C-alpha cells in the first residue's frame, strides 16, 4: 500500500502521528522559506508543508518542482496549523513532510481540476478522466453508487431477486429504434440490444420468480434530444400476485427509503393524482408540484364578452402568480414572447394585475367590465399584488400544454422550483391509448401489455380511446422518474388489445409470440415499473443534465469523444460478419 | 394482493389460521372423497385438501378439474396433517380449502415441472420460462442474486464505488473478436460491445476513483466452446495506490465473506502457488487441489534402462493413485485409451502396481529391474495397494498437460473431486508473455497493461520470454474464477512493453491511445482483477455448466431458441443503418 491514511481523514486528534499519504498535487504555494502543497485524493485535500529552515533544501527543492496533478507519496508528521481552514475537514492540521516520492509526473492539464473549472464542455468530455477528478463530478458518481446500493438493499429486504436478462436479444420493431448487432455465427441475422427487459421480466413472472428487479443498461437508437443517452440505466421491477395498490405501496416504500438514506428526508405519504386531473390542473402528466399555481378554467367567466380571441376559443385557462403584479410591461412582453416561441406555439397571452385597492387591470380592459374582471379575480382566488396570466386556444389539450410551460417559467422566475425541495406524487389512471397522427391509429400509451381498468373493459368495444389503464408514473419535481403498469395476464384480453392496436394475429405472433405462448402455461397476475436511474440520480444530485451523473456519457451525436467511438472497423471484421457498408450518396 | 401467505411459510404453529395462498398446481390426486392439490410458488409447496364429505361438491369438482400448472388462489384453514411429510418444510400441515379461484388455466406443459424432469435440454431451453419453475433451476438464480448482493455488500464496506462503464465503445481488434453495432447517426461507423471494461477501469483509476468495481455484462464473439456464452458477467475490480499483496488480501477477504455468507464455510488462508510450480506439479495453471496426487518427475529414475520411449523422452512424469492397485487390466486399458484420445494426445501410458508384499509390477517389467522399480516406488512415495501412472513425451509442457488430464480423470474415478468440498488458492507469478505459433510473436499472457515483476525488468531486453508478471489468478477446484494483475502506470515502461509485443508506436496509439494519453496526466499505481460471475456461481451451486445459473442462456450456436434470436431485420432498419448483408456463396 502506497499510503497508510487518506487525504480526507486526518484531524486535530492525529497531531504528532507519523503518516503516509498519496495523491495528486492540487496546488503548490511558495511563501518565503515555506512551501505548501495541497494533496488531493478521493477522500479530501490535506496540506503538506515543507520548511527550508529545517535544513532539508533537497526536499524543499523537490516540493518546489512539483507540478499540478503530479502523483506523489508523502511521509511526515501531523501538526496543528497556525492558520486553520474551517471550510476543509482536514483544515485544522498539516503534514510536515520528511520524505517525498514522485510516483508519476503530469503534463499541465488542459483545464483546472476545480469545481469552477475553466474547461468547456467539449474539452471536459474529451479528457473525462480529468473531469472526473473534480470533486463536484466525483460526488455525483458516489451518489449514484449509493443510490443503486440502497435500491438493492431495499428490494433484497423485500424478497426481490435481481435476475440478469440477456443483452443480445431479438429485434421487434415497435416504438423506438433498436440498435442491432450482426451475428457472425448466423450470417445475415442480427441480435438487437434491449430497449428494456419488459418481455423478459414478464416471462420471469410466468416462470414463478415472483419479485424481480434488475439495474440494467437499456438502449434506444433515437435522435438524441437534450437529455437523452443512447444507452441508459433502468431500475426495472416486476411483481406477481399483486394489484396496483401493492405496487404503489412497495415503491413508495422504496422512495421513502432512498430519501431517508441519501438525503435524510422523511418523505410524506405520496399524493395521487389522476392523469385527467394532472392535465386539467397542470397541463402535464408530470406536474411540478413544488408550487401550486394550478390552472383555472375560465370559459364561463371570460367567454361571450366580445373579445374575439376568447369568444372563439375551445379552452381558456389562467394561472395566478402570487405577488407578481409588480411585473413590468417589459417583463410581461417577454413572457408573451416566451409563449409565442415555436416550441410552445401560443398565439398570445392575456394578463391582469390585481391592484392594491383590489381593482383589476388587464391587457384586455376594453372588452371586459370591472365587474367581469372581479369575477375573474374571484375565480382565480387572486389577491391584491397578484398577477393573472391567461392563455386560450382552439385545442384544449394543446393550450393546456402551453399554459404548463408558462406556469413552469413563472415558477422558475419566482424562485418556486428549489432543487433542494422535493415534491413527489403518483400520477395514476393513464389512458390506455393515444391517437397517433403519424400512424393514423391508436397507439399504446404505455405498452401493449398494459391492462385496462376492469370497469373500463366494456368501453374497449364502444370507445377504446376513453379506456383508462392500470398504469402509473412516479413524478418528482416535474420529472417522471418511474412508471409502470399492471399487465394483462389473460391471453384473450391480450388478443383483443392487439386487435385494437391494429395488429393482425400473425403480426402479434411475430412480434410477441414467445410471450403470448408463455401465457398459455399459467400466467400469474403481475405488474411492475421501471425507474430511469440516470434521472433519479440527477434529481437527488440537483443536476440539470443526466450527463453529469454518468461516468462516460455520449454527446448529442451519440459519440464518445474521449474514445473516438463509434469508429470505422477493419474490412476483415466486416467480411467475417458478411455485411457491407452501403452509404447513401 | 392475491395472497396473504406464501406456499413456503405455514407450519404447525399456524394451525387454525385462515389463509389465502396463490400459486401453480403441481399435482392433483383424488383419493376416494378427498382431493389433494400440491400448490407451488417460489417459496415452497403447500398441500390443499378438498373433502367431499364436507358437502361442497361444486368446490371439489372444481379442484378435480384443475390441470397441472393452472394458477389458482385458495382460501382456507390450516390444519395438522394426518400423515406428515418430513421432507417438506410445510409437510406438517395442509389447507382445508373453502374457496378456490382459477386465475389462469394452462395447457399441458411440454415437460414435467420437477427436479427430475422428463424434458431434454433443447425443449427446456425453448420453454425456459417453464424450466425456471423447477426448484433446482430457481435455486441457482436465487444463489446468483445472493452472491452478487454479498459481493456488493463486501465491496461497499471496503469503500469501493460501483461505476457503470459504457456498453457502446470502440472496437480495438486485439484478442477475441468484438461484437459490433452499426451507428445510424454516424453512417459507416460502428460501436463495439466491450469484451471487458479493462481500459475504463484503468481510466477511472487515473480519474482518482481509487476503488472501483462493477458487476457487468461483457461480450465476446468467439466460436462457443462447451462452457462459453457470447455474453457473460464479470465482477470487475480495480484499486489504486496498492501493491499485489493488497489486492490478494482484499479479494481473499471477499472470497472468505462469500463462502461464509453463502455456504457457512470458514475459508482458511489461501495458499499461494507460483505458476512455475503449478505447471511442474499439476501440469496446469488452475490446479484442482481438492486432492494431492502431485506429479513426480522421473527422468533420473526411469531413463537410460533400455526402454526406448523413456530413453528418448524430454520429460517423464508420474502420479501415484492411492489404493488403485486393484484397477483391472480393462480399466488400465481404458485409461490408456483415455490419454491417447486426440484431445489429449499422449502416445501411451505406463503403469506400475505396488503389491501387498511391497514388490512392484509394471507394464514395462522387461526393461526394468525390481531394483529400479523400487527406486520408482520410493520416488513416488508409493505404498502397497497404490497404482503409479506414468506419461512421457518429447515436449515437457505438452506432456505435463496430458498428465494433468490423467490426474483429473483419476481424481474423478477415485471420488476425490467432491463438489461440496472447496479448495481455493492463488496462482501467482505468471509469465508476462507466451509465444504464439499462429502470430509468430510473443503475446501478452494476461493483457498488454500488465506490469512485469520489478526484479525481472532487466530481462525485458535480454530474455523477455522469461519475464514474470505481477499477475495472479484465484483458482477454486481446478477452475479459474478470477484473475488480474498490477498494471503499468509508467508511460515509458508501457511503451517498451508495446514494442516487445510488436506494436509500432502508431499501432499502439491507434489501439490504446486514449489510455496512453490519460497516463500523461498523473497515473497512480493501480491493479485489479475480474471474476467470472457465471463460473463463480456455478461453483457455489455445484453445477457442471454455467448455463444453469443464467436465466436465459444461449446455445452453442449463440442462439436463444426461446426468442428466436438472432433473426432477420427489416429492410427499413438496414437502410437506416446504411448497411447491407453480403453473404458469401
Residue B298 is part of a domain; what is its CATH number?
Answer: 3.30.1360.30
Are A566 and B166 in contact (CB < 8 Å)? no
Any residues with CB less than 8 A from the CB of A506 and at least 6 apart, and which? none
How would you write the pLDDT of chain A (585 residues) with one tens digit per residue? 999 999 999 999 999 999 999 999 999 999 999 999 999 999 999 999 999 988 889 999 999 999 999 999 999 999 999 999 999 999 999 999 999 999 999 999 999 999 999 989 899 999 999 999 999 999 999 999 999 999 999 999 999 999 999 999 998 766 789 999 999 999 999 999 999 999 999 999 999 999 999 999 999 998 877 678 999 999 999 999 999 999 999 999 999 999 999 999 999 999 999 999 999 999 999 999 999 999 999 999 999 999 999 999 999 999 999 999 999 999 999 999 999 999 999 999 999 999 999 999 999 999 999 999 999 999 999 999 999 999 999 999 999 999 999 999 999 999 999 999 999 999 999 999 988 888 788 888 878 899 999 999 999 999 988 999 999 999 999 999 999 999 999 888 888 898 888 888 888 888 888 888 999 999 999 999 999 999 999 999 999 889 999 999 999 889 999 998 999 998 999 999 999 999 987
Same domain, B304 and B399: yes
Residue A129, domain member (yes or no): no
Is B580's CB within 8 Å of A576's CB?
no
Residue B508: pLDDT over 90: no
Q: Bridge partners of B27?
A: B38
Can you tell me the distance from the alpha carbon of B123 to that of B110, in angstroms, rounded to the nearest whole number?
Answer: 8
Q: Are A403 and A262 in contact (CB under 8 A)?
A: no
B563 and A217 within 8 Å at the Cβ level: the answer is: no
Residue contact B563–A514, C-beta within 8 A = yes
Q: Assess whether A428 and A382 both reside in one domain.
A: no
**Which among A393, A413, A433 is the end of a domain?**
A413
Q: How far is CA A375 from CA A320, A360, A391, in A?
A: 14, 10, 17
Nearest to B418 by CA among B338, B480, B477: B477
Q: Are B129 and A1 within 8 A, CB to CB?
A: no
By CA distance, what is A133's nearest residue in B?
B207
When divided into structural domains, chain A yields a total of 3
B301 φ/ψ angles, rounded to the nearest 5 degrees = -80, -45
Taking residue A116's Cβ as centre, other Cβ atoms within 10 Å add up to 7
**Closest-CA distance of chain A to residue B339, Å:** 32
> What CATH number should be reported for the domain holding residue B248?
3.30.930.10
- At residue B190, does pLDDT exceed 80? yes
List the alpha helices (DSSP H) in B259-395. 275-282, 299-302, 308-311, 329-340, 370-379
Which residue of A162, A521, A569 is in closest CB contact with B107? A521
Optimal mutation site among B106, B170, B191, interface A, most CBs of chain A within 10 A: B191
Which residues, other chains included, contact B563 with Cβ-Cβ below 8 Å and sequence gap of 6+? Answer: A169, A170, A514, B552
Task: Give me the residue from B105, B129, B168 closest to A203, CB to CB.
Answer: B129
Closest residue, chain A, to B167 (C-alpha): A231
Query: How many Å apart are CA B93 and CA B85, to the nearest integer?
Result: 9
The yes-or-no verdict on residue B544 having pLDDT over 90 is no
- Give the closest of B203, B241, B551 to A165, CB-based: B551
Report the chain B residue with the minimal C-alpha distance to residue A524. Answer: B71
Q: For residues A100 and A193, state if they share a domain.
A: no
Asked if B191 lies within 8 A of A162 by C-beta distance, the reply is: no
Q: How far apart are CA B355 and CA B349, in angstroms?
A: 19
Same domain (yes/no): A230, A304: no
CB within 8 Å: B246 and A1: yes
Concatenated DSSP letters of B469-516: BSEEEEEETTEEEEEEEEBP--HHHHHHHHHHTT--HHHHHHHHHHHH
Give B-chain residues touching A209 at CB under 8 angstroms.
Answer: 42, 132, 138, 141
Domain closes at, from A61, A84, A104? A104
Show the domain range for A378: 291-413
Residues of chain B neighbouring A489 (CB-CB closer than 8 A): 103-104
Distance CA A370, CA A393 (A): 24
Examine the pLDDT at B421 and tell me if it is beyond 90: yes
Query: Which residues of chain B lie closer than 8 angstroms to A204, CB-CB?
Result: 129, 132, 551
Picking from A387, A413, A439, the residue at the C-terminal end of a domain is A413
- How many Å lie between the alpha carbon of B370 and the closest alpha carbon of chain A? 57
A350 close to A390: Cβ distance less than 8 angstroms: yes
Rounded to an integer, the average pLDDT of B315-329 is: 97
* A356, A434: one domain: no
What are the pLDDT digits (tens) for B225-259? 767 899 999 999 999 999 999 999 999 999 999 99
Cα dihedral B70/B75/B79/B85 (nearest 10): 20
The set of residues, in sequence order, having a beta carbon less than 8 Å from that of A226 and lying 6+ positions away, is: A545
- Smallest CA–CA distance, residue B52 to chain A, in Å, is 26
B65-68 — which CB contacts under 8 Å span 24+ positions? B66/B25, B66/B28, B66/B37, B66/B102, B67/B25, B67/B28, B67/B105, B67/B106, B67/B108, B68/B25, B68/B26, B68/B27, B68/B28, B68/B106, B68/B108, B68/B109, B68/B113
Mean of per-residue pLDDT scores for chain B: 94
Closest CA to A581 of B129, B189, B241: B189
- Reported ipTM: the value is 0.95
What stretches of A264-369 adopt beta strand conformation (E)? Answer: 272-274, 296-297, 315-321, 350-354, 360-362
Assigned domain for A110 exists: no
How confident is residue B268, by pLDDT bands cut at 50, 70 and 90?
very high
d(CA B86, CA B548): 28
Do A432 and A505 share a domain, yes or no?
Answer: yes
In chain A, the residue whose alpha carbon lies closest to the alpha carbon of B525 is A103
- Out of B156, B514, B520, the one facing A562 most closely (by C-beta) is B514
Q: Look at residue B406 and tell me if it is in a domain.
A: yes
Q: Is there a contact between B207 and A132 if contact means CB atoms under 8 Å apart?
A: yes
- End-to-end Cα separation, chain A, in angstroms: 58
Q: Which residues of A touch B523 (CB under 8 A)?
A: 71, 104
CB contact under 8 A, B560 and A132: no
Find chain B residues with C-beta within 8 A of A74's C-beta: none
10 Å CB burial of residue B52 (0-12, 13-18, 19+) is middle
- By the 10 Å C-beta count (0-12 exposed, 13-18 middle, 19+ buried), A51 is classed as middle
Q: Which residues contact A482 (CB under 8 A, 6 or more apart)?
A: A235, A251, A473, A474, A529, A530, A531, A532, A536
- Contact list in B for residue A105 (CB cut-off 8 A) is 522
The verdict on A428 and A458 lying in the same domain is yes
In angstroms, the CA B295 to CA B407 distance is 9
Domain-located, residue A243: yes
Identify whether residues A509 and A406 lie together within a single domain. no
Please report whether residue A557 resides in a domain.
no
The verdict on a CB contact (< 8 Å) between A582 and B584 is no
Residue B14 is predicted with a pLDDT of 98
Same domain membership, residue B304 and residue B268: no
Pair (A402, A326) in one structural domain: yes
Position B435 pLDDT exceeds 80: yes
For residue A104, the chain B residue with the least C-alpha distance is B522
Per DSSP, the three-state class of B213 is strand
DSSP string, A466-500: G-BBSEEEEEETTEEEEEEEEBP--HHHHHHHHHH
Q: Is residue B473 part of a domain?
A: yes
Q: How far apart are CA A203 and CA A518, in angstroms?
A: 7
Mutate which of B183, B208, B576 to test chain A, going by most A C-beta atoms within 10 A?
B208
Averaged pLDDT for residues B432-453:
86
Any idea what the CATH number is for the domain that residue A68 is in?
A: 2.40.50.140
pLDDT at B161 over 90: yes
B127 part of a folded domain: no
Q: Are residues B143 and B77 in the same domain?
A: no
List the one residue out of A51, A43, A36 whose CA is nearest residue A21: A43
Q: How far is B234 from chain A (nearest CA, A)?
A: 12
Predicted confidence band of residue B174 (pLDDT cuts 50, 70, 90): low
Q: Which residue of B has its CA nearest to A139?
A: B209
Q: Is residue A544 part of a domain?
A: yes
Q: Cβ contact (<8 Å) for B70 and A186? A: no
Q: Give the lowest-confidence range in B228-232, B245-249, B495-499, B565-569.
A: B495-499
Q: Decide: A140 and A543 in contact? Cβ < 8 Å.
A: yes
Report which DSSP code applies to A118: S
Residues 6+ apart with CB under 8 A from A401: A283, A284
pLDDT for the residue numbered B173 = 64
**What Rg, from alpha-carbon coordinates, does chain A have?**
30
A254 shares its domain with A306: no
Amino acid at each position: 500500500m502506497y499510503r497508510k491514511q487518506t487525504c480526507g481523514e486526518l484531524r486535530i486528534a492525529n497531531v504528532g502521528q507519523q503518516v503516509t499519504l498519496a495523491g495528486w498535487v492540487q496546488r503548490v504555494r511558495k511563501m518565503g522559506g515555506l512551501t505548501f502543497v495541497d494533496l488531493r485524493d478521493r477522500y479530501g485535500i490535506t496540506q503538506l508543508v515543507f520548511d527550508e529552515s529545517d535544513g532539508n533544501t533537497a526536499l524543499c527543492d523537490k516540493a518546489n518542482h512539483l507540478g499540478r496533478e503530479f502523483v506523489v507519496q508523502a511521509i511526515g508528521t501531523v501538526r496543528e496549523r497556525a492558520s486553520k481552514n474551517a471550510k476543509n475537514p482536514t483544515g485544522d492540521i498539516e503534514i510536515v513532510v520528511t520524505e517525498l516520492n514522485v510516483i508519476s509526473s503530469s503534463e499541465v492539464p488542459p483545464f483546472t481540476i476545480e469545481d469552477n473549472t475553466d474547461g468547456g464542455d467539449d474539452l471536459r468530455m474529451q479528457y473525462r478522466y480529468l473531469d472526473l477528478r473534480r470533486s463536484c463530478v466525483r460526488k455525483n458518481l458516489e451518489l449514484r453508487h449509493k443510490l443503486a446500493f440502497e435500491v438493492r438493499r431495499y428490494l433484497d429486504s423485500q424478497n426481490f431477486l435481481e435476475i440478469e436478462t440477456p443483452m443480445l436479444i431479438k429485434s421487434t420493431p415497435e416504438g423506438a429504434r433498436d440498435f442491432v448487432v450482426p451475428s457472425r455465427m448466423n450470417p445475415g441475422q442480427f441480435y438487437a440490444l434491449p430497449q428494456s427487459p419488459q418481455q423478459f421480466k414478464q416471462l420471469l413472472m410466468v416462470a414463478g420468480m415472483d419479485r424481480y428487479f434488475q439495474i440494467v443498461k437499456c438502449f434506444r437508437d433515437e435522435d438524441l434530444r437534450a437529455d437523452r443517452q443512447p444507452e441508459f440505466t433502468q431500475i426495472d421491477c416486476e411483481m406477481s400476485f399483486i394489484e396496483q395498490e401493492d405496487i404503489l405501496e412497495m415503491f413508495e416504500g422504496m422512495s421513502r427509503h432512498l430519501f431517508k438514506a441519501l438525503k435524510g428526508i422523511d418523505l410524506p405519504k405520496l399524493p395521487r393524482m389522476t392523469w385527467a386531473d394532472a392535465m386539467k390542473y397542470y397541463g402535464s402528466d408530470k406536474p411540478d408540484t413544488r408550487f401550486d399555481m394550478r390552472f383555472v378554467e375560465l370559459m364561463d367567466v371570460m367567454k361571450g364578452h366580445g373579445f374575439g380571441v376568447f369568444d372563439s376559443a375551445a379552452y381558456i385557462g389562467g394561472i395566478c402568480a402570487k405577488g407578481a403584479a409588480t411585473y413590468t410591461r417589459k417583463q410581461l412582453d417577454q413572457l408573451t414572447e416566451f409563449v409565442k416561441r415555436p416550441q410552445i406555439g401560443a398565439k398570445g397571452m392575456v394578463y391582469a394585475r390585481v391592484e392594491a385597492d383590489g381593482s383589476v387591470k388587464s391587457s384586455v380592459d376594453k372588452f371586459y367590465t370591472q365587474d367581469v374582471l372581479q369575477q375573474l379575480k374571484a375565480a382565480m382566488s387572486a389577491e391584491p399584488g397578484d398577477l393573472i396570466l391567461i392563455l386560450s386556444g382552439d385545442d384544449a389539450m394543446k393550450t393546456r400544454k402551453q399554459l404548463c410551460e408558462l406556469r413552469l417559467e413563472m415558477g422558475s422566475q419566482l424562485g418556486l422550483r428549489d432543487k433542494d425541495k422535493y415534491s413527489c406524487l403518483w400520477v395514476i389512471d393513464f389512458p390506455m391509448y393515444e391517437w397517433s397522427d403519424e400512424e393514423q391509429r391508436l397507439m399504446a400509451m404505455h405498452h401493449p401489455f398494459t391492462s385496462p381498468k376492469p370497469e373500463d373493459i366494456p368501453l374497449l368495444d364502444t370507445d377504446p380511446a376513453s379506456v383508462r389503464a392500470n398504469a402509473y408514473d412516479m413524478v418528482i419535481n416535474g420529472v417522471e422518474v418511474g412508471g409502470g403498469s399492471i399487465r394483462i395476464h389473460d391471453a384473450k384480453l391480450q388478443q383483443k388489445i392487439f386487435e385494437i392496436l391494429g395488429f393482425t394475429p400473425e403480426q402479434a405472433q411475430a412480434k410477441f409470440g414467445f410471450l403470448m405462448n408463455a401465457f398459455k402455461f399459467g400466467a400469474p397476475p403481475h405488474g411492475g415499473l421501471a425507474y430511469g436511474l440516470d434521472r433519479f440520480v440527477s434529481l437527488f444530485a440537483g443536476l440539470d443534465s443526466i450527463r453529469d451523473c454518468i461516468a462516460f456519457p455520449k454527446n448529442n451525436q451519440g459519440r464518445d469523444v474521449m474514445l473516438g467511438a463509434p469508429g470505422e472497423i477493419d474490412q476483415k471484421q466486416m467480411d467475417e460478419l458478411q455485411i457491407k457498408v452501403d452509404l447513401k450518396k
